[in-house]
Amino acid sequence: MAPSPLREKVRTRAEDRPGVYRWLGAGGRILYVGKSVRLRSRLLSYFREERGKAARMVAEAEDVNWDQRPNEFAALIREMRLIRAWQPEYNVQHKRDRRYGFIKITREPAPRLVPVSRVHNDGASYYGPFAQTGWLTQAVHDLSLATGLRDCPAHTPIHFGDQLEIFSGGRVPRCIRGDTGTCPAPCAGRCTTAEYNRRLRLACAFLEARSRAPLAELEDSVTAAAAELRFEYAATIRDRMETLEKLWSHLSGFRGQMENLNLVYSVPGYEGDDRIYLIRRGRPCADLPMPKSSRARRRANEAVEEVFQPVPGDRDGRLDGDAAAEVLLTVSWFNRRPRERERAVAPERWLGGVVVGSGRRAG
């Protein structure tokens, strides 16, 4: 049973309004972060739990605190950021990371392409999200083959040819790809750092929908195989091309979709605390009170212009872990609540004076 002072604290101080709460253990350690549109009711419900994870957590808790937010969207953003920052033990994984896939470029001496379903603060780069993930593993494998990037385990030792080694011992490739020449075998010193990085740049350019070079090389391989009457091999390459064409189509289309996620999003708030959220390429960047005067509108317009001004490199589709998680949050939010999308307008329309949700211009 949880200590009665905690229940009294919630009963007397919490309000039934949107917010984010934190259960704290010994020494202020964060055990769990959650959000609710009715904070008081949600927190009181924990004290009725008699078994399971919630009951164990409340029994371990020494304190509980909370932040009030003007609306559910704001609470959702705050909840996700706290979970990613603190990784509380009772939040095993932020649940919204699981419905989509990403292509990850690992942060290793010889980076790899890896299909993942979750994003982390690990310094890696992520491309996506991909709503349909069943084909993603094959697409990543085919792109690794087409660009010559390794796909061996992370623990494989790397020894580039330009590394100084006194006792190399005549290294040999650790897999058949190195033997057959489909991998430059950085495990055996058969390529330099620069040579491997050239291949990596080729893969990045494809993932950023800037270059179809891997597909062009595969097409040349099909032509050569057919000329040599190696029709079975040519068919295998065509299958690989088909997978990469699908990947290219998604990546090039996604660049346009990200531009559609440049939004000024108006949200009614608790007790009239209405807000606008500036969402840049799917990532919530700022929030402001809904302007209710000409002067406030001018200040809001200045903020919109600042947030949405072009930034070099922000159209390449590459995301870090935090950005990827926030894009997922935005995509999931609007997918599950289509009518909320009607409250959002492109920055250009906002600056043109459109009143959100009405189609009229501000006076």
Tell me: the pLDDT tens digits for 229-254?
A: 999 989 999 999 999 999 998 888 76
E-strand stretches of the chain: 19-24, 30-36, 63-68, 101-105, 113-116, 125-130, 263-267, 275-280, 283-289, 318-319, 344-345
The per-residue pLDDT for 128 is 82
Decide: 150 and 187 in contact? Cβ < 8 Å. yes
How far apart, in Å, do the first and last CA atoms of the chain sit? 58
- Predicted pLDDT at 133: 75
pLDDT at site 354: 61
Pairing of strands 19-24, 344-345: unpaired
Which residues of the chain carry a pLDDT beneath 50? Answer: 1-3, 93-97, 167, 357-363
CA neighbor of 278 nearest in space, from 235, 209, 326 = 326
Closest by alpha carbon to 281, among 300, 248, 241, 309? 309
Cα separation of 104 and 317, whole Å?
12
**Lookup: tokens for 105:** 């470029």
Q: What's the confidence (pLDDT) of residue 94?
A: 47
Range 4-92: architecture per CATH = 3-Layer(aba) Sandwich (3.40)
**C-alpha atoms less than 13 angstroms from C-alpha of 323 in its C-beta half-sphere:** 15
Q: 276 forms bridges with which residues in the sheet?
A: 266, 288
Q: What is the pLDDT of residue 313?
A: 60
Question: What residue spans define the domains of the chain?
Answer: 4-92, 101-244, 260-351
